[in-house]
Structure 1
């Protein structure tokens, strides 16, 4: 559920970027009662267009993301070059008076969470033990650089003033620094960047739900794969409908629900890891964290404290966020109780021809 709601953010970001550029205000069409129907329709259209590559095959997804990665990087590299002569180092040390630490931590948590999602593709790769460590190290380094370097450049230039920045402002910043041509290039890059994130996460959501159905944690209806490509289209379509529903809410609300559920699930995972160290020390752990029991508890204190803050901050930020989070938790609890009373069979039959897998690391 967390990953699906997270995916609803990307169509929202694209529409906000277009509205901020064309109308000068991303909320220009929205009223006091929330997201306008015209904005909702635009988000739904992007959600449909972005979903189409995920219905093909996981190999298409991998090739698409590689090409998109190169396309996304180039305009921001040019933006950095154009911003460098305009940089005033004093701008880096300006601290605004109306600081919102909760919103900052919320945005940072969202931007740097989700690395575990790559595990959903392990069954689609022949040698994940050698491919994944290399890919994860490269990904962490690239993400850090793609966030930090452009931000340092535009923050030093401060055009327009940083108090006007919001989600979708990169195109406006590019227009002020480099002109219309750079603005259009960054806008196209933003669209493809959100497309890449959406496609990767949508594919992951589908395979994750199908895997849960295989293990009896979800209805076997969602275990069915396409006979030719092996893609779990039923699972992907369910995720798509949830994304369209979330398109009725603004960016901050979607982000709040996503962070609340994500942080809550992380707290449960960390608690389980620590508890099982003491309650089941004899269980073989192929991927055991190389820390003693006491060291593990100490290492978990900081992320656990941050997780509690994120949960409480997102739960209480607005009544809309509070109600939607409570509804999501209630539905999850009721579904869990139903599964306990009426369990699915342990393993669902995977319908379709055997899928001949190839190592994406060799193709890419």
Structure 2
């Protein structure tokens, strides 16, 4: 009788679908949160998303080397419609449906079960850590033209360690600090390209924008560069529980960040390819600083290099925030040991930060192209699970509360996922055997790790718990609910 009374109490908290069968359990309103720590407002959130995805045009130079000016420019105009906009829209809908830390892990768990939710968390966390290993590499690539000693050897290793420790400490101090630092760094990163554009006006030759040679295109490098520079819109969902009024703030922040990101790529490419004679071999990491020197002199080159440095700092901090809060969210859901859910006195996930920083240090020896290819491969697997979860939740639980809902029906949701899914298949197909092998080994590790953690939970070797601050996200079909009443 007591069990029946508890079930009835839970039933009052479930949203009732139109067919009067209880199918989806989701508390209305924002879930209760720790109110001790200040939440992130819309302006810092926009720049956190900006740094999760972009951080400025640093790293897009390879698109010109791979395919020439015309395809590079078209890529950064067309690619957002194929990938960025669908991913941002899905993030807005699912992030407001599940406004808690863990983000896409919770989406996939609710649609496909905790096993696949864990696989999503493992692949996306590993992808994020690999991605974060890029930023010390890019940081040093831009500085090595002015400080040649940073090009390799012991000084480069020390520089990577110092940078990682300093930025990790800033993440430890609090997400609101990271957010407002991101605003300052974002403005500083964008300004030199505005100045470069003004200086370049007399030297622009529009005919240079239309140069293309279809017999000399590195499609693998081209697509990987576009994909890497325009993805990770879903990363901000892993810290939705730290956002002020996420059901309204998150969709707005994604919209403004999308405009900022596309403009931040297209405008510098337009200036760089139109104002300087084309030499595709020179278009590699750090070439924008050379263009700045040609157009404005040494002072502008140093400004661009400084902007690159702070941009990589911003991207590092934003990515580490996402990765570490994802681990915290998984621990709050009982997917990881309890110590991953412990917060520091600043409200930050200390264990998650340390794990993410360790991964960055271990992977920072890889080259830029190897890092991009490896993280893209793992990221693709995670995105496939997200698309499946998005469509399945639309189909099975149409009446569930969605504070922001993409204005398309079920068929529209399916059609929206087709172009990015085809792109994913292309990215997977062009991966090298080395990258493919390493990535598949990483996936297999995740497939084995989840049952091992469950076994350690049963044996009580590690302590697991589910946070009482979170809502029940229980998915029942009618027969399962009836069976629970009988029991």
TM-score normalised over the length of structure 1: 0.85
Matches of 2:414 and 2:467, distance apart in 1: 37
2:171 aligned to which of 40, 54, 64:
54
- Equivalent position to 1:244, from 358, 361, 381: 361
Q: Match for residue 144 of structure 2?
A: 19
Q: 1:358 maps to what in 2?
A: none
Once the two structures are overlaid, the 10-residue window that deviates more, 154-163 or 85-94, is 154-163
Q: What is the CA distance between 1:186 and its match in structure 2?
A: 0.7
Q: 1:3 aligns with which of 102, 117, 128?
A: 128
Q: 1: distance between equivalents of 2:298 and 2:137?
A: 23
Deviates more, 1:103-112 or 1:293-302: 293-302
1:56 to partner: Cα distance? 0.4
Q: Which sections of structure 1, spanning at least 5 residues, go unmatched? A: 30-35, 351-364
Question: 1:1-364, aligned counterparts within 5 Å?
Answer: 1-23=126-148, 29=152, 36=153, 38-96=155-213, 97-158=215-276, 161-226=279-344, 228-278=345-395, 280-281=396-397, 284-286=400-402, 288-314=405-431, 317=432, 319=434, 321-343=435-457, 345-347=464-466
Would you say how many aligned residue pairs link Structure 1 and Structure 2? 337
Residue 221 of structure 1, CA deviation: 1.4
Cα deviation for residue 142 of structure 1 reads 0.8
CA separation of 1:237 and 1:270: change in aligned 2, threshold 3 A: same
Cα distance in structure 2, aligned partners of 1:346 and 1:324: 32
Question: In structure 2, what is the equivalent of residue 359 of structure 1?
Answer: none
- How far has the Cα of 1:68 moved from its partner? 1.1
Which protein, 1 or 2, shows the higher relative CO under an 8 Å CA cutoff with sep ≥ 6?
2
Asked whether the equivalents of residues 76 and 150 of structure 1 are also in contact (C-alpha less than 8 Å), the reply is yes
Rounded Cα–Cα distance in structure 1 between residues aligned with 2:427 and 2:162: 31
Which deviates more from structure 2 when the two are superposed, residues 124-133 or residues 287-296?
A: 287-296
Q: Is the alpha carbon distance of 1:243 and 1:167 closer, same or farther for their aligned partners in structure 2, counting shifts above 3 Å? A: same
Distance in 1 between residues matched to 2:331 and 2:374, nearest whole Å? 24
1:130–1:272 distance in 2 versus 1, CA, 3 Å:
closer
| Cα shift at 1:284 | 2.1
Moved more, 183-192 or 128-137: 128-137
Q: CA deviation at 1:2?
A: 1.5
Instruction: List alignment gaps of at least 5 residues for structure 2.
Output: 1-125, 458-462, 470-487
Q: Check conservation: 1:121, 1:207, Cα contact below 8 A.
A: yes
Q: Is the 8 A contact 1:51 1:240 kept in 2?
A: yes
Separation in 2, partners of 1:318, 1:22: 35
Cα distance between partner residues in 1 of 2:412 and 2:398 = 18
CA apart distance, 1:331: 1.6
Q: What displacement does 1:200 show?
A: 1.2
Cα deviations by residue, 1:193-222 (Å, 9 ceiling, x for unpaired): 111111111112111111111111112111
- Normalising by structure 2, report the TM-score: 0.65
Q: CA deviation at 1:155?
A: 0.5
